[in-house]
Copies of this chain bind each other. A is one copy, B any other.
């Protein structure tokens, strides 16, 4: 396609320039908000050029970096290596950046993904200087057509002083029309968000902006930097199996309607494998109200199982990306991409009664969930949207394999070393061992369900030993505080949570 077809506001064509020229607009000390959610639709070449610029300057050069969620690994890595990022929010998942965060070199503000834009509007996160947003087109009015994600881009565009666009010619032009951009009014005079079902369209197919703020348009053909998911294995298949049995059972008991309520599926291999597991069930007419649309979404659509998917980003494995993007006309009428504020909004999640399926790092015997911190100290990625969904879902499910590191770590522990989701927000826990339905149970009643149904057999006796010691101290939630983290300490100090190894 030509520039005329993509950059439809003629006055803007004079602002086409290189990434290096655009990056020169960004000064030391600025706050920069870039598009991107789960490595989809992220600004790519301008941040990379900024890293080069900072290195070439030969003096300290720092920015605050705001995104939707994770962006291309090379972007976070290159910026981190150049020492450019002083502060990062609200989510990331890249290893170099993660190490810098865990060293305390980057101040990382790990947020519920629906909330960042509220804080920007209230002015409590400070001023946004520059927004860098990937687009597939600019309309006649200078409005922006995003690419494979929406994320926080609409709010970044509304609040930044200057806007830099990455016009990505490699992204499919069929993405135009897939987005539904809606921004709630500023409080206190806010109307209800009028989404009544997953396919409600309530906004515009573009991001409205003041075109005078667009200072640069950078043509690029850099692809989204997707990564392969670990393939399903025997354990993830068992997790999917337990979950499907449970949902079928709930349906039979009349505790879930048919077709099922909208599904939300977390990010990553386990979540994707479990969702893909629905292909071989009798569930039909499925719909999703989710955050990221991963590979399984398209598999379910191809299989005729999934009627409609609402998300805020399309993130698929490289080996699937070309096929899906070249075939978008088959999907575009059955999906919508929304701002993450809306895809993750408590109001809509609660109204629609979503079934939320998220992954846990560890779960304790009372059903508290740690999604983020290894050994309570080192962050993996961040809480992401899991809190937005788990708190407001009709049914909040957390999934994990019962062990990690070849059995040296038990995912079921006496007390989680960090709490992201309290027992109040966790209805069901699933591992390859089985499923624990915790709804309506007191903490003491949850213990046997979790140990017997979810823990790996080699850890069950150790868990019961802890329960016995904790019982000495009594309470609504019995714990022996001197022993609560003994497993984590054993892993930290000798590399194995099991007792007989030490």
Interface size counted on chain A using CB atoms at 8 A = 83
Looking across the interface, which residue of chain B has its beta carbon closest to that of A424? B112
Nearest-Cβ distance from residue A347 to partner chain B, whole angstroms: 4
Judge whether A502 is part of the interface by a CB distance below 8 angstroms. no
> Across the interface, which residues of B come within 8 angstroms of A104, CB to CB?
444, 474, 478
A111 touches B424 (CB 8 A): yes
Within 8 A of B (CB), among A355-412: 368, 373, 375-379, 383, 387, 391-392, 394
> Across the interface, which residues of B come within 8 angstroms of A327, CB to CB?
none
Judge whether A482 is part of the interface by a CB distance below 8 angstroms. yes
| Cβ 8 A contact of A488, one of B255, B420, B481 | B481
> Across the interface, which residues of B come within 8 angstroms of A475, CB to CB?
102, 373, 375-379
A192-B194, A193-B192 known; A477+B379 contact, CB < 8 A: yes
> Across the interface, which residues of B come within 8 angstroms of A379, CB to CB?
475-477
Judge whether A109 is part of the interface by a CB distance below 8 angstroms. yes
Q: How many copies does the complex hold?
A: 2
A123 touches B255 (CB 8 A): yes
A107-B444, A474-B377 known; A261+B188 contact, CB < 8 A: yes
> Across the interface, which residues of B come within 8 angstroms of A482, CB to CB?
485, 489
Judge whether A442 is part of the interface by a CB distance below 8 angstroms. yes
A112-B424, A192-B192 known; A346+B125 contact, CB < 8 A: no
Judge whether A440 is part of the interface by a CB distance below 8 angstroms. yes
| Cβ 8 A contact of A347, one of B102, B262, B347, B479 | B347
Nearest-Cβ distance from residue A30 to partner chain B, whole angstroms: 16
Q: Scan A65-106; emit 1 where CB is below 8 A from any B CB, else 0.
A: 000000000000000000000010100000000000111100
Looking across the interface, which residue of chain B has its beta carbon closest to that of A191? B196
Q: With A and B bound together, what is the CA distance between A351 and B341 in angstroms? A: 13
A377 touches B473 (CB 8 A): yes
> Across the interface, which residues of B come within 8 angstroms of A125, CB to CB?
439-440
> Across the interface, which residues of B come within 8 angstroms of A158, CB to CB?
none
B440 touches A353 (CB 8 A): no
| Cβ 8 A contact of A124, one of B110, B439, B473 | B439
Judge whether A212 is part of the interface by a CB distance below 8 angstroms. no
B473 touches A351 (CB 8 A): no
A122-B255, A187-B351, A377-B475 known; A442+B107 contact, CB < 8 A: yes
Judge whether A254 is part of the interface by a CB distance below 8 angstroms. yes
Looking across the interface, which residue of chain B has its beta carbon closest to that of A257? B188
| Cβ 8 A contact of A481, one of B123, B346, B353, B417 | B417
Q: With A and B bound together, what is the CA distance between A124 and B110 in angstroms? A: 33
> Across the interface, which residues of B come within 8 angstroms of A190, CB to CB?
351-353
> Across the interface, which residues of B come within 8 angstroms of A439, CB to CB?
119, 124-125
Q: With A and B bound together, what is the CA distance between A479 and B261 in angstroms? A: 40
Judge whether A334 is part of the interface by a CB distance below 8 angstroms. no
Judge whether A247 is part of the interface by a CB distance below 8 angstroms. no
> Across the interface, which residues of B come within 8 angstroms of A346, CB to CB?
346-347, 350, 391-392
Judge whether A197 is part of the interface by a CB distance below 8 angstroms. yes
Judge whether A332 is part of the interface by a CB distance below 8 angstroms. no
Q: With A and B bound together, what is the CA distance between A481 and B377 in angstroms? A: 9
A188 touches B353 (CB 8 A): yes
Looking across the interface, which residue of chain B has its beta carbon closest to that of A287? B188
> Across the interface, which residues of B come within 8 angstroms of A308, CB to CB?
none
Q: List 13 A-B contacts (CB under 8 A).
A: A122-B255, A123-B253, A124-B255, A346-B350, A346-B391, A347-B351, A373-B475, A375-B481, A376-B479, A377-B475, A377-B481, A383-B422, A482-B489
A interface with B by C-beta (< 8 Å)? 87, 89, 101-104, 107-112, 115, 118-119, 122-126, 184, 187-194, 196-197, 253-255, 257, 261-262, 345-347, 350-353, 368, 373, 375-379, 383, 387, 391-392, 394, 417-420, 422, 424, 439-442, 444-445, 470, 473-479, 481-482, 484-485, 488-489, 492
Closest 10 CB pairs of A and B: A377-B475, A192-B192, A187-B353, A419-B419, A379-B476, A107-B442, A347-B347, A481-B485, A346-B346, A378-B475
